[in-house]
Amino acid sequence: MSGNTRPIEASIRTDFRDEMDYGSYLGLDALLSAQHPVSDPPHHDELLFIIQHQTTELWLKLVVHELRGVRRFLDSDDLPRALKGLARVKHIQRTITEQWSVLATLTPSEYAEFRGSLGQSSGFQSHQYRAVEFLLGNKHAGMLQVFRDKPEIHAQLAQLLQEPTVYDAFLRLLARRGHPVPAEILDRDVTQAWTEHPELIAVFKTIYEDPHAHWELYEACEDLVDIEDAFQLWRFRHLRTVQRTIGFKTGTGGSSGVGFLKRALDLTFFPELISVRTEIDGPLGA
């Protein structure tokens, strides 16, 4: 017998006729038959393009699930569990940002060979990406238009638009814990995109100037900043991958392409958590 063969132990199960097995639990039949290249003749690299999107969408599904959880935990004053959810989101963000390097192996020549088959489809139509943006505060009612022919998705996003964001939930928790968050912020119209409220900077200054007195809140603030940073890194890698793949061509979704994506790099979810940094004074006033 070859020394490199591992025997199947007698106790390992091989008969699953009456039981759930790996593939059925994971829905692998559906998952692995959900890649449908459209290029004709079939282009070798289209499978990479599809799987890159599908894996990102799977992770986005979990990000939406976790952010909803985080919001719920904040609402019920369970800050430790909210922090745990935020930590998980950060790791997912790192993973989907890192995986841009796989798609970056697609050369402009290879992509050009099947780009024409993609029609007008575009990441602009990713409803899960839009859900993450809404949960984090970049609300935009106009984006719902993209989904007007998909009633279920439209309804889900319309619902999220009406609901408070993770940041709204955090500010409400701060108020419940005695921090002076102005009432007009707590009662804001949550369907609108967040805009900077300079009155909040003093609230965060209190926390940042005495972290030990407000440790959990301080950690939560830093987690939110981590998530904002990680989101921007994802956007930046997308932009750079797009630029090296299609240069300055207009997008299949109808936008200017790189110019449109660049403008998203100026967006910020939690502007006061950035602004407070300018205001933090140490014991020597530095």
Ligand X SMILES: N[C@@H](CC(=O)c1ccccc1NC=O)C(=O)O
Can you tell me which residue has the tokens 């935009």?
140
Q: Tell whether residue 123 is a contact of ligand HEM (CB under 6 A).
A: yes
Structure tokens at 144: 């719902």
Q: 161 or 261, CB closer to ligand HEM?
A: 261
Question: Among 232, 245, 268, 275, which residue interacts with ligand HEM (rule: CB under 6 A)?
Answer: 245
Q: Tell whether residue 56 is a contact of ligand HEM (CB under 6 A).
A: yes
Which of ligand HEM, ligand X, none does 56 bind, CB closer than 5 to 8 A by kind? ligand HEM
CB 46 within 8 A of CB 118: no
In this structure, the number of other CB atoms found within 10 A of the CB of residue 245 comes to: 17
Q: Per the annotation, does 50 bind a ligand?
A: yes
Give the span between the Cα atoms of 190 and 125, in whole angstroms: 23
Binding piece for ligand HEM, criterion CB under 6 A, among 87-95, 155-163, 253-261, 269-277: 253-261
Give the span between the Cα atoms of 120 and 250, in whole angstroms: 11
Please give the DSSP secondary-structure letter assigned to residue 212.
G
Largest CA distance in the chain: 77
Q: Per the annotation, does 96 bind a ligand?
A: no
CA proximity to 230, closest of 103, 94, 123, 139: 94
Q: Per the annotation, does 91 bind a ligand?
A: no
List of residues contacting ligand X (CB under 6 A): 53, 115, 118, 121-123, 246, 251-253
Residues annotated in the binding site for substrate, as ranges?
49-53, 111, 115, 252
List of residues contacting ligand HEM (CB under 6 A): 52-53, 56, 103, 111, 122-124, 126, 129, 238, 241-242, 245-246, 251-255, 257, 260-261, 264
Residues annotated in the binding site, as ranges?
49-53, 111, 115, 238, 252
